[in-house]
Every structure is written in structure tokens, then in C-alpha cells.
Amino acid sequence: MSTDALSTAAECDWRWRWVLVLLVNLPLPLLAGFDFTRDGGEFGMYAALALVWLCGHVVAVCVPKLMVAVAWGGMVVAVAQLVLVPHAYVGRLALEWVGVTNLSAIALSNAQAFEATLYMAAILLAVAAILGGLMGLGPRDITGARDRPVTQRPWHGS
């Protein structure tokens, strides 16, 4: 198999892993999102989810090593949905950034739902990347520094 074919297969594999990470992270945000967008913000939420999905595909192709960290950390974030508190806090923070202060009478517009969904996704993706980095899949993997032999030190000039 040629190098180009292997590279293409690896990119395709990470795009599918991204879809899996996205899908396992959707149950709790969608349940809460359906409640908050029941009076007209559904399109904004769906549009933001489509944008997050597309951005993940672009990252999987352009920076596949970053997607490794996001995928592993994303699985930890998905399991954290069982605890509920971290996701509820992130959702509340996203709603505050959008300008929603009264949770008892919430009805997000399309623009507010779009913005809140992007904020929440950005926070959870950052947490996933950090967790993936803490699991040993961080900047050294992303920059390719692990590919260098241990005996070779950049500051020794060779």
C-alpha cells in the first residue's frame, strides 16, 4: 500500500472517530437544548451542531494528531455526562454569555441557540483536548516531537 493511500486511510479513520466522539457527547446537550429551544431556536442549535461537525472534520484532516487528543479526551467528557454537574455548569455559563439570566422562562431565539451551542461546544472541546493532553497525547504528539529519537536533542545542534 502506498504512503498516500495510508495517509488517506488514516484521515478517513479520524473523521469517523470524530463523528463517534460528537455523537456520544450529544445526548445531554440535546436533551437540555430541546427544552431551551422549544419555542423557535431549534434551527440555530442544529446549525451550530452542523458547524461543529464540519470543523471537526477539517481538524481531523489538517491536524490529525490533535484529533487523537480530542478523541480520547472527548470520551472522558462523554462519560462525565453521567455526573451531570460539569455539563450543567458549562451550559449555564454558555447561557449567561448569550445574555439569558432567567432560567425559568427560557425560550432561545435561533441566534441565541446558535451562539450558546457554539460556546458550549468550544468549552467542551477545549476540555477534551486538555484531557487528551493530560493522558499523554498532548503537544509532543501534535508537533511530532515524539517521532524524534530520544538521543537527539534540539539544543545540541544535530
Residue range 59-74, pLDDT digits in tens: 888 887 788 888 888 8
User: Which among 114, 30, 18, 139 has a CA at the least distance from the CA of 74?
Assistant: 18
Band (93; pLDDT cuts 50, 70, 90): confident
pLDDT confidence of residue 10: 53
User: Which among 68, 24, 29 has a CA at the least distance from the CA of 48?
Assistant: 29
pLDDT confidence of residue 148: 46
Angle between helix 110-132 and helix 42-62 axes, rounded to 10 deg: 30
N-term to C-term CA, the chain: 33
pLDDT confidence of residue 152: 47
CA distance 72 to 16: 14
CA distance 59 to 129: 12
Is residue 55 a part of any domain in this protein?
yes
pLDDT confidence of residue 149: 46
**Percent of the residues in the chain that have a pLDDT greater than 70, as a whole number:** 73
Is residue 138 a part of any domain in this protein?
yes
Band (97; pLDDT cuts 50, 70, 90): confident
Is residue 140 a part of any domain in this protein?
yes
Is residue 152 a part of any domain in this protein?
no
Is residue 156 a part of any domain in this protein?
no
Is residue 33 a part of any domain in this protein?
yes
Residues spanned by the domain of 30: 3-144
Is residue 154 a part of any domain in this protein?
no
User: Which among 152, 93, 80 has a CA at the least distance from the CA of 120?
Assistant: 93
At 105-153, the pLDDT tens digits run: 567 788 888 888 888 888 888 888 888 888 775 445 444 555 444 444 4
> What is the grid cell recorded at 72?
480520547
pLDDT confidence of residue 103: 63
At 3-12, the pLDDT tens digits run: 555 455 555 5
pLDDT confidence of residue 51: 93
CA angle 95, 98, 104 (to 5 degrees): 45
CA distance 128 to 69: 7
Is residue 150 a part of any domain in this protein?
no
Our count of domains for the chain comes to 1
Q: What are phi and psi of 152, to 5 degrees?
A: -90, 115
